[in-house]
Structure 1
Amino acid sequence: MKHSIFYTFLVCFLSRQTNGEPINKKFPENFHFGVATAAYQIEGAWNEDGKGENVWDRFLHEKPYMAAYQNGDIACDSYHKYLEDVQLMAYLGVNHYRFSLSWSRILPTGQVNQINQAGVDYYKNLISSLKENDIEPFVTLYHWDLPQPLQDIGGWPNPLLVDYFAEYARLVFTLFGDEVKNWMTFNEPKQPCQYGHGYGYFPPGYATDGIGDYMCAHTIIKAHAKAYHIYDEEFRNEQNGRVSIVIDTPWYEPGSDSDEDKEATERLRQFNFGWYANPIYHPDGNYPQVMIDRIAERSKQEGFSKSRLPEFTPDETEYIKGTYDFFCINSYSTNLVNWTEDFAIGNPSWDADVSVNTYQDPSWNGSASPGLKIVPWGIRKLINWVDQTYNHPEIFITENGYPDDDGELNDPQRIYYLSEYMSNVLLAILEDNVNVTGYTVWSLVDNFEWLLGYTVKYGLYQVDFDSPNRTRTIKDSAEYYKTVIATKCLVDTCDV
């Protein structure tokens, strides 16, 4: 009943949409605009200056067909071109740059017994250059590129990685914390867990659906909490920074007004987003009750002696709960959800555990990335749902962006996407009173998009991947975003 009431509230409260026209109100003066990248996707230099091998290096060297025989060995060559990248950002006037550290560039073995000074110096120089240009670094400790030696001992399902990640976190807080005040422990942990240990598409390529994915998530959530407490107890008083975790989700909208579709939709939100968010952000902590109950029951029917979903002890639940300073969300699109009969008991899987049907309206405009439809009202509904579900936190949009397949400099569809999504973020701020304090475009530059390789382009700047210089060229969308940042306005003239 609670979920049904809240859905009715959303439908009524958000009835005003932008109807394809960005609104003419200004963002708050202290609102932050930024851009984002990730280490493996832009740095290149995969084996230079003492960097160790990571799981994406190994995976795509051994299975090059998984990404159309492309990889991040060179990528945008930002390891050598970071100063140029900083100047691209300075031209835009961004307030912050969200990037990730390559764990294996700093710790080639994944552990603190061997520190690579060249990797440390690279990030120190990058951070220094950002600060010189009044760009605030937002630093992610882990964006999917686990050091291969840690994968060789089992990877994220191995609980020892809680301690190894904590040691890594302590080191980077020590090295960079005087200059970095915004930390994200993990980016989208669902991806390496569900795609790497569930479906087997991502490294390490383990198809252990319904078991390995839950074990992976369990370790990551505990690793995040330990890193947070290390910062809180050892660094916060002197460094005065803040720590969070980045969780991704599309908005899930019921396919109809039926109670069954509404229930199935909320169930999927909990299985997809609440899986990672509830233990950290929900005042009760722990996994969503619907996950606990359904996985336990299906595990019993499948003949397991206990639930496939690992349990947090009461002490662990308390230790994990509240380990955040602000709420970080990545979101790009929207899916519709229909109720369906529970999947038949058989091989365990996350999809069977949640048992819903998802789809997208064929009338929605698409993009070069499968499943990424342009549905701007979805981000407003998502922001409101997070605000209501997690007790009104400060919300920061840490990724949102549009992919095309040609990387053309004239990119009106990206401008349309960004303006409409930012309009709905602004409506959430001005009309819904949600505390959203920042927005981040993915991405600064065209880059290596994981299994899609270089076939899709998200950048505000084009990168010529056929050139040994990886030449950057500004797109029209970058000029538009530059104007938005300077004026806090999405159109030519805003009402005061």
Structure 2
Amino acid sequence: MFPQFSKNFLFGTATAAYQIEGGWNEDGKGLSIWDKFSHTKGKIRDGSNGDVACNTYRDFQTDIDLMSSLKMDAYRFSISWSRVLPEGRGKVNPKGLDYYERLVDALLEKGIRPFVTLFHWDTPYALFEQYKGFAGRETAQYFAEFAGLAIQRLGDRVKDWITLNEPWEHAMMGHFLGEHAPGIRNPWTYFKVAHHLLLGHGLAVQAMRSERNDLNIGVTLSQFPIYPASYEPSEKELDSVEMADMFINRFYLDGVFKGKYPEKLFSRLWPIVPKVYPGDMETIRQPVDFLGVNYYSRLFASRKWYIPFLKTWIDRASADERYNHPILGAHGYPDGFKELAKRYREEYGNPAVYITENGTVGQDIADKNRIEYLTCYLRSLREAIDEGSDIRGYFYWTLIDNFEWNSGLSCPMGLIHVDHKTQQRTIRDSGYWFRDLIAHQESRR
């Protein structure tokens, strides 16, 4: 039996521009930091890049037709900033805006509601050269100008907008660990980027609302319940859990919803925290219409004395098998939906929530494991709604096998398999399951 949701609950899928579009240097598009990073030897595990990816710059209609055949309500995609503004600012590339206008019109013609993400990690390389991307405050202002431009062109048809996708990942993976573009490893830069991303979010919300007053605007944050690595933790390990939670989750939640950063985190990390100017937090705390949540699994924190300031290390799985999910194994944790939703209800005013990403890897066409994953997670999501959370939609990550960042083309997460040599699409069994889930919603009959 399929989990049941309300009549207005949205079912869709999510993608990102660099991961699917290809056309990396076509029709006046400027370079992004990911164009540079993926062309650097040794940065992508399988040696691939996003030059072609899923080729949707040349053909988006095939995938829209597939979405329509699977009865999807909505589609979340991102705009390539450097396709619209090749230098990140200044002169507009008309062909870039024309592309997204055609994409939106094609979605609407099929009755699919577009959710547009403005920043999904692909900073224009020109802004990185001049300002080191979001390490510079200037980039936050240029991002706001880009947001206003997008609304001018598409705001009459697109009502659902997401400013940022996963600012923690972009700051952490790209500027602390160096595993994503632009490949920097510097804790001071991490915090500058984190703060300036949120500043850019606030400035963008202001710019968008100055253009139109009928928009549904939110921000998407990656979220993780944090557990101690030990099943029976020490007090020091519990402190590490608290620090990890503030570093990964609360910094961004508190900034957006409370207009402040966690005091204990800033006290512990005082030598490397960012410069916060007067008025910054008021700008960041712009009212939003919803919170986008990207949730996959929990994280595990352990005490490491040799890590400066935080004294904390994070892992995606615990060595203790008592944490394992009985069906999904070490990495599955569907109940995280309920834990996160409870936090939003009790500490952040129960905002409207869209699950803007959730998914798993699987190569097979008959992908039983992905169906089990979907079943478990959606049941937990339904329970979170029953407990009082205002959750309005679910976007599976992802529609089609794409360029999965530093994993390249070797990390298939799509409901639809893509042969990247021929661009042939094949709907997986999980895609048909998703279609049947939507069709069997009793509230829609």
Q: Which of the five TM-score ranges fits, normalised by the shorter chain?
A: over 0.9
Partner of 2:396: 441
How far apart are residue 361 of structure 1 and its match?
A: 3.8
SS at match of 1:184: strand
Aligned-partner residue type, residue 422 of structure 1 = L
Match of 1:331 among 289, 292, 295: 295
Partner of 1:286: 260
With over 3 angstroms needed to count, the CA separation of the structure-2 counterparts of 1:198 and 1:472, relative to structure 1, is same
Aligned to 2:432: 479
Instruction: Give the match for residue 128 of structure 1.
Output: 105
Instruction: Tell me which amino acid in the other structure corresponds to 1:265.
Output: V
Verify the 8 A CA contact 2:243 2:310 in the aligned structure 1: no
The code of the aligned residue for 2:437 comes to V
Partner residue, 1:247: 221
Query: 1:466 corresponds to which letter in structure 2?
Result: K
Match of 2:199 in 1: 222
Deviation at residue 357 of structure 1 after TM alignment: 5.4
The CA distance in 2 between the partners of 1:34 and 1:265, in whole Å, is: 33
Equivalent-residue separation in structure 2 for 1:182 and 1:372 (angstroms): 35
Between the two proteins, what is the percent identity of the paired residues? Answer: 34
CA distance in 1, matches of 2:41, 2:76: 29
Is 2:398 aligned against 1:424?
Answer: no
Instruction: Determine which of 390, 408, 423 is the counterpart of 2:364.
Output: 408
Q: 1:149 aligns with which of 123, 126, 131?
A: 126
How far apart in 2 are the matches of 1:360 and 1:65? 24
Amino acid at match of 1:246: T
1:312 aligns with: 276
Q: Give 1:60-71 correspondences, 5 Å limit.
A: 60-71=38-49
For residues 377-392 of structure 1, what are the structure 2 equivalents within 5 Å? 377-392=335-350
Where 1:420 maps in the other structure, the secondary structure is helix
Match of 2:162 in 1: 184
Contact 1:366 1:373 in 2 (8 A): no
Q: How does 1:327-406 map to 2 (within 5 A)?
A: 327-338=291-302, 340=303, 342-343=305-306, 345=308, 352-353=309-310, 355-356=312-313, 358=315, 360-362=317-319, 363=321, 364=324, 373-404=331-362
Whole-angstrom CA distance in 2 between matches of 1:132 and 1:359: 41
Length, aligned pairs only: 438
Q: CA–CA distance in 1 between the matches of 2:212 and 2:232? A: 49
**1:150 CA drift (Å):** 0.7
In the alignment, structure 1 segments of 5+ residues that lack a partner are 1-21, 300-307, 346-351
Contact in 2 for aligned 1:367/1:373 (Cα 8 Å): no
Q: Distance in 2 between matches of 1:234 and 1:124?
A: 17
Does the aligned pair in 2 maintain the 1:107–1:116 contact within 8 Å? Answer: yes
The 3-state SS of whatever aligns with 2:58 is helix
Q: Summarize deviations over 1:167-214 as a string: whole Å, max 9, x none.
A: 111100101111111111111112221111111121221111x20000
Partner AA of 1:279 in structure 2: G
Structure 2 unaligned blocks of 5 or more:
none
Paired residues of 2:145 and 2:207 also in contact (CA < 8 A): no
Contact 1:200–1:206 (CA<8 Å) still a contact in 2?
Answer: yes
The one of 267, 277, 285 aligned to 2:243: 267
Q: Give CA-to-partner distance per residue, 1:247-275, whole Å, 9 cap, x none.
A: 10232234446573544323321110112
How far apart are the structure 1 equivalents of 2:122 and 2:138?
17
CA-to-partner distance for each residue in 1:43-86, whole Å, 9 max, x for gaps?
Answer: 00111111111111111213355332100100000111201111
Which stretch has the larger CA shift, 127-136 or 226-235? Answer: 226-235
8 Å Cα contact 2:120/2:165 also seen in 1? yes
Residue identity opposite 1:420 in structure 2? C
Equivalent runs, 1:34-73 vs 2, <5 Å: 34-73=12-51
One of 413, 416, 420 as aligned partner of 1:461:
416
Contact 2:15-2:76 within 8 A present in 1 as well: yes
TM-score (norm 1): 0.83
Tell me by how many angstroms 1:387 deviates.
2.5
SS at match of 1:265: helix
Give TM-score scaled by structure 2 length.
0.93
**Is the partner of 1:152 in helix, strand or coil?**
helix
Which residue identity lines up with residue 360 of structure 2 in the other structure? Y
What residue is the counterpart of 2:95 in the other structure?
Answer: 118
- The aligned amino acid for 2:287 is T
The verdict on how the C-alpha distance between 1:172 and 1:344 changes in structure 2, with shifts beyond 3 A counting, is closer
Secondary structure of 2:7 counterpart: coil
Q: Structure 1's 341 and 117: CA in aligned 2 closer, same or farther, altered over 3 A? A: closer
Q: Could you tell me which of 46, 57, 60 is aligned with 1:79?
A: 57
CA contact (8 A) 1:50 1:105 kept: yes
Q: Which residue of 2 aligns with 1:160?
A: 138
The one-letter amino acid paired with 2:128 is Q
Contact 1:185–1:245 under 8 Å retained in 2: yes
Q: Structure 1: how far apart are the matches of 2:311 and 2:110? A: 47
CA offsets 1:81-110 (integer angstroms, 9 cap, x no match): 201111111111111100000111111111
Give the Cα–Cα distance (whole angstroms) in 1 for the partners of residues 112 and 293 of structure 2.
21
Question: What are the superposed Cα offsets for residues 346-401 of structure 1, whole Å, 9 maximum, x if unpaired?
Answer: xxxxxx42625546245436999xx9812212222122223322121111100000
Q: CA RMSD in A?
A: 2.3
Q: Distance in 1 between matches of 2:244 and 2:215?
A: 33
Q: Distance in 1 between matches of 2:107 and 2:315?
A: 42
Specify the structure having the higher radius of gyration (Cα): 1
The code of the aligned residue for 1:242 comes to N
